[in-house]
C-alpha cells in the first residue's frame, strides 16, 4: 500500500470518529435540554403514580407555551374520585389540560388522558388526579400560587401579571379560602368582637365577627345584614359550647347585637367598644357643626365654621399647625360646635380611670353636663351612654385589655378590602376577599415552596 493512501485513510478515519463524537454530543445536549424541565418537575412536583413524559415548547391559542405530557406509571391503579380509593380501570376519556405555574413568561400546561374507573362502591367514575381538584382547570399548586399573590396585589393585577383571567384568580382564591375554612381550628377562642360594616353604596351592611384573643386575632365569620337573625346565625356557626366558653365579647351598641350576645354568650363580659363610643361622639359633633354652619350663613354671619371639621374631630395633640391656629380662633366664639367640642375633649379623661366606680362617677357627671347643654345631638349621645352604662363600664372591669386598636384595626382593614372589591358587586366575592385577607386561614401543604 502507498504511504500516501495510508495517511489519507487515517485522516478519513479520524474525521469520521470526530463527526461521530460530535453527533453524540449534540444528541446528548438535545436530550439533556429536554430532560432539564422534567428533572426540575420531578424534583419539585413529583407524584408517585404518574410520570412526566415529554416537555415541548409549542403553540396554543396563538401563543408559545410549554406543554408537559403526563402518563400513569406502569401498573399503577387509578383512584376513584367518589371514595378516594384505588379501583380497576374502565376506559379512557379525552385529553385534559391543566395549567401549572408559568415559567420564564411561558404558560405551562399538563396534558393528561383522564381514565374512568369501575368502582365497587361508586360505580363508573372519573379518576381523581393528585395535581388538581374536580373539574378545575388550574392545578392546585398554581391556585395556591395565584392566591399567594392575590394577598399582595389586586385580583386584576394578579391576572395581568400571570397572563390569566380575573375569573381564574377568583376561583383560585375561592378554592384556597374554602380549603382554609374547612381545615381551620376553632378551639381556644375566648374573646370575640362583633362589628357591622357598611357594604356597597346605600345602606347595606355586613356583620363580621373576629377572634380578638391576644395571641390570635382573625376574622371568624361574615354574614349579610345586621339583624338579630344575622347575629344568631353567627352563634349557630360557633356552636353553643364554644359560645358559652367565651369570656369577653366586644361590640357596638347596635340593639340586636346587644340582645343576642346577652342571651347566647351569657358567661362573657360584654364590653362596648371604646372605638365605637368615640365614633358616636364624633358623629354628633359633625352634626352640630354642619347645622350650625348652615344657620350662620343663613343668618348672614361670617362662616367661621368653614373648613373646621378636622379641628373639631381630631384630638388636640394630633392637629397640624394651621389647624391648631383655626381651633384657637374658633374657641373665641361661643358656638354650639365649640361647646360640643369641649365636651368631647372632656370625655376623653373618662378612659384614664382605673377603677370602674370612679369612672362611673365621672361618666354620670359628664352626662348631666351634656343634658344641660341644650345641644340636641350631644344629648342623644349622653342618653345612649346612660342606657348602656354598665356595658361601657365593663371595659374597666376587663382591665382595659381590649384596646380599641384591635377592633378598629380590623375594621379599617375590612373597609380597605371591601373598597377594593367594590368592582365585584357580588356578596360572594366580598366574602371570599375578606376571608382571604383577614381569616389567617391554613393553606394546603406543599412539598416545595413555589413562592
Q: Is the dihedral of CA 333, 338, 342, 345 positive or negative?
A: negative
Under the criterion CB under 5 A, does residue 80 sit at the interface with Zn ion? yes
CB of 89 to Zn ion, least distance (A): 13
CB of 84 to Zn ion, least distance (A): 7
Binding mask 37-76 for Zn ion (x = CB under 5 A): ----------------------------------------
DSSP code for 84: S
Q: Which is nearer to Zn ion, 81 or 230 (CB)?
A: 81
Residue of 82, 102, 256, 356 interacting with Zn ion (CB under 5 A): 82
- Which residue, chain included where needed, has cell 351612654? 385
Q: Which is nearer to Zn ion, 80 or 375 (CB)?
A: 80
Q: Which is nearer to Zn ion, 87 or 143 (CB)?
A: 87
CB of 121 to Zn ion, least distance (A): 5
Residue of 37, 44, 83, 253 interacting with Zn ion (CB under 5 A): 83
Q: Which is nearer to Zn ion, 122 or 371 (CB)?
A: 122
Q: Which is nearer to Zn ion, 127 or 195 (CB)?
A: 127
Strands 204-213, 216-224: pairing is antiparallel
Q: Which is nearer to Zn ion, 117 or 268 (CB)?
A: 117
CB of 217 to Zn ion, least distance (A): 42
Interatomic CA distance for residues 285 and 313, integer angstroms: 7
Q: Which is nearer to Zn ion, 117 or 288 (CB)?
A: 117
Interatomic CA distance for residues 231 and 265, integer angstroms: 11
Give the three-class secondary structure for 220.
strand
Stretch that binds Zn ion, among 79-87, 161-169, 194-202, 356-364 (CB under 5 A): 79-87
CB of 110 to Zn ion, least distance (A): 24
Burial (0-12, 13-18, 19+ Cβ within 10 Å), 151: exposed
CB of 444 to Zn ion, least distance (A): 22
Q: Which is nearer to Zn ion, 83 or 114 (CB)?
A: 83
CB of 96 to Zn ion, least distance (A): 20
Stretch that binds Zn ion, among 63-71, 78-86, 153-161, 386-394 (CB under 5 A): 78-86
Q: Which is nearer to Zn ion, 128 or 411 (CB)?
A: 128
Measured in degrees and rounded to the nearest 5, phi and psi for residue 66 equal: -100, 125
Q: Which is nearer to Zn ion, 79 or 249 (CB)?
A: 79
What is 377-388 written as a DSSP string?
HHHHHHHHHHHT
What are the helix and strand counts (H, E) for the chain?
16, 12
CB of 113 to Zn ion, least distance (A): 20
Interatomic CA distance for residues 271 and 255, integer angstroms: 14
Site for Zn ion in 100-159 (CB under 5 A): 119, 121-122
Interatomic CA distance for residues 272 and 265, integer angstroms: 14
CB of 120 to Zn ion, least distance (A): 7
Residue 85 pairs with which residues in a beta bridge? none
Q: Which of 423, 448, 436 lies closest to 166, judged by CA? A: 423
Confirm if 354 and 398 have CB atoms less than 8 A apart: no
Under the criterion CB under 5 A, does residue 78 sit at the interface with Zn ion? no
CB of 46 to Zn ion, least distance (A): 25
Distance of CA 428 to the CA centre of its chain: 13
Q: Which is nearer to Zn ion, 119 or 126 (CB)?
A: 119
CB of 93 to Zn ion, least distance (A): 17
The distance between the two most distant Cα atoms of the chain, rounded to a whole number of Å, is 132
DSSP code for 227: S
Interatomic CA distance for residues 256 and 147, integer angstroms: 36
Q: How many residues bind Zn ion (CB under 5 A)?
A: 6
CB of 122 to Zn ion, least distance (A): 3
Return the exposure string of 341-365: e unless at least 16 CB atoms fall within 10 Å of the residue's CB, then b.
bebbeebeebeebeebeebbebbee
Vertex 438 angle, CA 435 and 439, to 5°: 55
Cβ neighbours of residue 280 under 8 Å, at least 6 residues apart?
Answer: 253, 381, 384
Q: Which is nearer to Zn ion, 120 or 425 (CB)?
A: 120
Site for Zn ion in 330-359 (CB under 5 A): none
Q: Which of 404, 396, 366 lies closest to 383, judged by CA? A: 366
Residues engaged in binding Zn ion (CB under 5 A) = 80, 82-83, 119, 121-122
Amino acid at each position: 500500500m502507498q504511504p500516501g493512501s495510508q495517511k489519507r485513510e487515517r485522516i478519513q478515519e479520524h474525521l469520521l470518529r470526530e463527526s461521530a463524537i460530535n453527533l453524540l454530543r449534540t444528541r446528548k445536549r438535545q436530550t439533556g435540554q429536554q430532560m432539564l424541565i422534567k428533572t426540575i418537575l420531578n424534583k419539585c412536583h413529583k407524584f408517585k403514580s404518574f410520570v412526566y413524559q415529554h416537555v415541548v415548547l409549542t403553540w396554543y391559542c396563538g401563543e408559545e407555551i410549554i406543554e408537559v405530557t403526563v402518563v400513569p406509571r406502569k401498573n399503577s391503579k387509578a383512584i376513584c374520585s367518589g371514595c378516594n380509593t384505588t379501583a380497576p380501570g374502565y376506559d379512557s376519556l379525552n385529553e385534559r389540560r391543566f395549567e401549572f405555574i408559568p415559567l420564564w413568561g411561558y404558560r405551562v400546561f399538563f396534558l393528561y388522558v383522564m381514565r374512568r374507573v369501575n368502582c365497587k362502591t361508586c360505580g363508573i367514575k372519573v379518576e381523581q388526579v393528585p395535581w388538581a381538584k374536580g373539574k378545575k382547570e388550574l392545578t392546585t399548586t398554581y391556585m395556591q400560587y395565584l392566591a399567594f399573590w392575590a394577598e399582595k396585589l389586586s385580583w386584576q393585577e394578579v391576572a395581568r401579571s400571570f397572563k390569566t383571567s380575573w375569573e381564574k384568580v377568583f376561583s383560585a382564591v375561592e378554592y384556597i379560602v374554602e380549603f382554609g375554612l374547612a381545615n381551620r381550628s376553632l378551639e381556644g377562642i375566648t374573646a370575640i368582637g362583633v362589628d357591622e360594616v357598611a357594604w356597597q353604596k346605600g345602606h347595606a351592611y355586613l356583620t363580621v365577627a373576629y377572634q380578638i384573643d391576644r395571641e390570635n386575632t382573625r376574622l371568624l365569620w361574615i354574614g349579610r345584614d345586621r339583624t338579630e337573625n344575622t347575629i344568631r346565625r353567627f352563634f349557630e356557626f360557633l356552636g353553643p359550647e364554644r359560645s358559652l366558653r367565651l369570656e369577653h365579647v366586644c361590640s357596638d351598641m347596635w340593639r340586636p347585637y346587644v340582645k343576642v350576645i346577652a342571651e347566647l354568650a351569657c358567661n362573657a363580659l360584654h364590653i362596648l367598644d371604646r372605638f365605637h363610643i368615640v365614633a358616636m361622639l364624633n358623629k354628633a359633633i359633625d352634626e352640630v357643626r354642619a347645622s350650625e354652619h348652615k344657620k350662620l350663613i343663613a343668618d348672614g354671619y361670617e362662616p367661621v365654621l368653614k373648613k373646621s371639621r378636622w379641628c373639631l374631630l381630631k384630638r388636640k395633640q394630633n392637629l397640624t399647625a394651621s389647624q391648631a391656629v383655626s381651633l384657637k380662633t374658633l374657641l373665641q366664639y361661643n358656638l354650639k360646635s365649640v361647646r360640643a367640642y369641649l365636651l368631647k375633649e372632656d370625655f376623653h379623661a373618662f378612659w384614664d380611670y382605673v377603677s370602674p366606680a370612679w369612672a362611673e362617677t365621672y361618666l354620670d357627671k359628664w352626662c348631666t353636663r351634656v343634658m344641660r347643654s341644650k345641644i340636641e345631638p350631644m344629648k342623644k349621645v349622653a342618653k345612649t351612654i346612660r342606657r348602656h352604662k354598665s356595658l361601657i363600664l365593663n371595659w374597666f372591669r376587663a382591665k382595659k385589655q381590649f384596646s380599641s386598636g384591635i377592633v378598629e384595626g380590623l375594621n379599617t382593614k375590612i373597609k380597605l378590602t371591601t373598597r377594593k372589591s367594590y368592582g365585584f358587586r357580588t356578596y360572594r366575592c366580598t366574602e371570599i376577599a375578606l376571608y382571604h385577607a383577614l381569616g389567617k386561614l391554613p393553606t394546603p401543604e406543599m412539598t416545595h415552596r413555589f413562592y
